C-alpha cells in the first residue's frame, strides 16, 4: 500500500538559541549551563537549546509567583475579568503565530496546531465568565439573628506540568481557570517543545496580567520535583503517561497538595455490524493517525464485531494509501507530520515488532518510512495491524504513535468486556445505528469519556475532561466546573450582628437552632 509523500519546505537552521524561563515578567537565561536540545522533528535538526532549571531557578520562579499572587489576588473581579478578555482577544488575533511555533517544535501539521489552540481557547472563553462560577452562597437567618454564607478564594501558587503533545491546549485546560480564580501559575512545559509557553507568557503580559502571575519554569525532573515538594505551591495539575501521573499524584499528595494528574490511555473503538463502515473507516483514520497518533484521546484499537472486520480493514487500508506525510509547514499541507523525537520513533517501531512477533498481521507497515528531502526527519508511516493478540504488549500498553490495531470480536459483550478489563479508562467510542445498543454502551462501559459515532470524545470546555482507572489520579477532572472547584477553596462564615436592644446572655451549651 503506497503512501503519498510531500516534500518539506526546509528552512535553513540558524545557530541554536537558548530558550530560557519567564520569571517576574521577563525572559531569563540562567547561568548554570544546563540545557537540552530542541529539535525540528520534520528535519531532525536542532533549532534551539532549552535551559534546564536548577534549585536557584526553581526558587526564583516560585518566589516570583508568590509575589504575583499577593498582587493579583487583590484585584477586583471586574479587573481580573478585563485582563482575561484582553488575553482572549490577543490570542484570537495572533493564534497563527502560535500555530507556526507549535508545528516547528512538535511537528504536527499547521491545521492541527490551529485546532489545538482553538480547543484551548474554549477554556479561555469559559474563564472569562468566571464571576458566576466563583460565587459563594448566602443563607439569611439560618438561626435566629444568624446568617451563614460561604466564600470561594484562590489557593495561591499553583503548578502545571504539561506534556509535549499539546504544548498550548493542555496548559490552557488549567491556567485560564486558575488565573481567573485569582491564583498565580508556574507552568513547567515539556522540554521537547518549550517555546509555546513563553509565547503565551508574553501574551499575558501584553494583556495586562501583573508580573509573576504567569511564570514559565523550563526543566526536567529536577524542576518537576521542585514544584511537587515546594511548601509554597498549593496544587499540581498534570497530563502525561500513567507511571509519571501516579508519581506526581503520590509525591504531591505526600507534600499536602491538591492534585489532578491525568495519565495514559488505550482507547478502543467498538464497531457493531450495523454501523456505517465508511463513517467508521474515516473516523478510525482521523482518530488513529491525526497528530501522528500522539494524542491521549487517539483511537488505537478497533474492536470489529464480526463479520465486518475484513471489509472495515480494507476500507481503512485504502484510505491510508491516500494520506500525505511530510513537514507540517509544507504547501500544500500534508495530512500527518513526524513524531516528536528519534527516540520516540524507535519506541513506536519496537511496538510494531512486538505485535508482529506475537502473531499480529501487518497490513500497512510504517517502519522505515522517510520523506524525500527530509530523510533526517522523525517520520513514521501510518501502520495498520490485524489480529493483534490481547496478551501482546502492543495491545495492553500505550504506543502513542500512528499505529492502529484491529482486534476481532464475536459480539458486543466480548468487545465491552475487553474495554472494561483494561487498566485505562480514558476515552472510548461505539459506532452503530442502533440507539438501544449505544445507550447500553454508555451505561455499561467503564470509561470516563464516551463517543457515540464520534471518535475523539473530548468534552467541550463547560463540561470536564478526565478518565477513569489508571487514566486519572485525584478527584478533579480538568476544566469545566471541576476546574473552578479545584482552583478555589471555600470558607463558611457564621455571622451574628447583635441587636443593641437585646442580648442573649451566657450559654455554655452546644449551639443549636431553637
> Are residues 88 and 219 both part of a single domain?
yes
pLDDT over 90 (residue 384)? yes
Q: Are 469 and 123 spatial neighbours (Cβ–Cβ below 8 Å)?
A: no
Nearest to 285 by CA among 299, 271, 274, 267: 299
> Are residues 64 and 211 both part of a single domain?
yes
Residue 3 pLDDT class (50, 70, 90 cuts): low
Cβ-based neighbours of 256, under 8 Å, separated by 6 or more: 231
DSSP 264-291: ---EEEEE-TTS-HHHHHHHHHHHHHGG
Number of domains in the chain: 2
Residue 511 pLDDT class (50, 70, 90 cuts): confident
Give domain status of residue 20, yes or no. Answer: no
Helices (H) and strands (E) in the chain, counts: 14, 25
Give domain status of residue 135, yes or no. Answer: yes
Q: Which three cell numbers stand for residue 141?
A: 437567618
User: Is the model more confident about 7 or about 451?
Assistant: 451
Give domain status of residue 33, yes or no. Answer: no
Residue 100 pLDDT? 97
Q: Are 366 and 386 spatial neighbours (Cβ–Cβ below 8 Å)?
A: no
> Are residues 276 and 258 both part of a single domain?
no
Residue 310 pLDDT? 98
pLDDT over 90 (residue 8)? no
> Are residues 242 and 290 both part of a single domain?
no
Give domain status of residue 447, yes or no. Answer: yes
pLDDT over 60 (residue 162)? yes
Count CB neighbours of 331 within 10 A. Answer: 9
Q: What are phi and psi of 491, to 5 degrees?
A: -115, 135
User: Is the model more confident about 224 or about 475?
Assistant: 224
Active site residues: 296
Q: Tell me the pLDDT tens digit for each residue of 229-255.
A: 999 999 999 999 999 999 999 999 999
Residue 349: give its domain's CATH number: 3.40.309.10
Which residues constitute the domain of residue 315? Answer: 267-452
Strands 4-5 and 324-325: parallel
Q: Tell me the pLDDT tens digit for each residue of 417-452.
A: 999 999 999 999 999 999 999 999 999 999 999 999
Give domain status of residue 9, yes or no. Answer: no
Positive or negative CA dihedral for 476, 478, 484, 486?
positive
Residue 503 pLDDT? 62
Residue 1 pLDDT? 35
> Are residues 192 and 71 both part of a single domain?
yes
Amino acid at each position: 500500500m503506497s503512501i503519498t509523500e510531500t516534500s518539506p519546505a526546509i528552512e535553513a537552521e540558524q545557530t541554536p538559541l537558548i530558550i530560557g524561563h519567564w520569571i517576574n515578567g521577563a525572559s531569563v537565561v540562567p547561568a548554570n549551563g544546563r540545557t537540552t536540545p530542541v529539535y525540528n522533528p520534520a528535519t531532525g535538526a536542532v533549532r534551539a537549546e532549552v535551559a534546564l532549571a536548577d534549585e536557584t531557578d526553581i526558587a526564583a520562579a516560585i518566589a516570583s509567583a508568590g509575589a504575583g499572587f499577593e498582587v493579583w489576588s487583590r484585584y477586583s473581579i471586574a479587573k481580573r475579568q478585563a485582563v482575561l478578555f484582553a488575553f482572549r482577544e490577543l490570542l484570537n488575533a495572533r493564534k497563527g503565530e502560535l500555530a507556526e511555533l507549535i508545528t516547528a517544535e512538535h511537528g504536527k501539521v499547521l491545521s492541527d496546531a490551529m485546532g489545538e489552540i482553538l480547543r484551548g481557547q474554549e477554556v479561555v472563553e469559559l474563564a472569562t465568565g468566571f464571576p458566576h462560577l466563583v460565587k459563594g452562597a448566602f443563607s439569611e437567618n439560618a438561626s435566629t439573628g444568624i446568617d451563614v454564607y460561604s466564600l470561594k478564594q484562590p489557593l495561591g501558587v499553583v503548578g502545571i506540568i504539561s506534556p509535549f503533545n499539546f504544548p498550548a491546549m493542555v496548559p490552557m485546560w488549567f491556567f485560564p481557570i486558575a488565573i481567573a480564580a485569582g491564583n498565580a501559575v508556574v507552568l513547567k512545559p515539556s522540554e521537547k517543545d518549550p517555546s509555546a509557553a513563553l509565547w503565551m507568557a508574553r501574551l499575558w503580559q501584553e494583556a495586562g496580567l501583573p508580573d509573576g502571575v504567569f511564570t514559565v519554569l523550563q526543566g526536567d525532573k529536577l524542576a518537576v520535583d521542585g514544584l511537587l515538594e515546594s511548601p509554597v505551591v498549593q496544587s499540581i495539575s498534570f497530563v502525561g503517561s500513567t507511571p509519571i501521573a501516579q508519581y506526581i499524584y503520590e509525591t504531591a499528595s505526600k507534600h499536602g497538595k491538591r492534585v489532578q494528574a491525568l495519565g495514559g490511555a488505550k482507547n478502543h473503538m467498538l464497531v457493531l455490524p450495523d454501523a456505517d463502515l465508511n463513517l467508521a473507516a474515516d473516523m478510525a483514520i482521523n482518530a488513529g493517525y491525526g497528530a501522528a497518533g500522539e494524542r491521549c484521546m487517539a483511537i488505537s484499537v478497533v474492536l470489529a464485531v464480526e463479520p465486518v472486520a475484513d471489509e472495515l480493514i480494507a476500507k481503512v487500508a485504502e484510505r491510508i494509501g491516500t494520506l500525505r506525510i511530510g513537514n507540517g509547514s509544507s504547501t500544500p499541507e500534508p495530512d500527518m507530520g513526524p513524531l516528536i523525537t528519534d527516540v520516540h520513533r524507535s519506541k513506536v517501531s519496537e511496538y510494531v515488532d512486538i505485535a508482529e512477533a506475537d502473531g499480529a498481521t501487518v497490513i500497512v507497515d510504517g517502519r522505515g518510512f522517510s520523506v524525500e528531502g527530509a530523510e533526517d526527519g522523525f517520520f513514521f508511516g501510518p501502520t495498520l495491524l490485524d489480529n493483534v493478540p490481547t496478551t501482546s504488549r502492543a495491545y495492553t500498553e500505550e504506543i502513542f504513535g500512528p499505529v492502529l490495531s484491529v482486534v476481532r470480536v464475536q459480539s458486543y459483550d466480548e468487545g465491552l468486556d475487553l474495554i472494561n478489563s483494561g487498566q485505562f479508562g480514558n476515552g472510548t467510542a461505539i459506532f452503530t445505528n442502533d440507539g438501544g445498543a449505544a445507550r447500553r454502551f454508555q451505561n455499561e462501559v467503564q470509561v470516563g469519556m464516551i463517543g457515540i459515532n464520534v471518535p475523539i470524545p473530548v468534552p467541550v470546555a463547560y463540561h470536564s475532561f478526565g478518565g477513569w482507572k489508571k487514566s486519572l489520579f485525584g478527584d478533579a477532572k480538568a476544566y469545566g466546573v471541576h476546574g473552578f472547584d479545584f482552583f478555589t477553596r471555600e470558607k463558611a462564615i457564621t455571622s451574628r450582628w447583635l441587636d443593641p436592644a437585646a442580648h442573649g446572655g451566657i450559654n455554655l451549651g452546644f449551639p443549636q437552632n431553637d
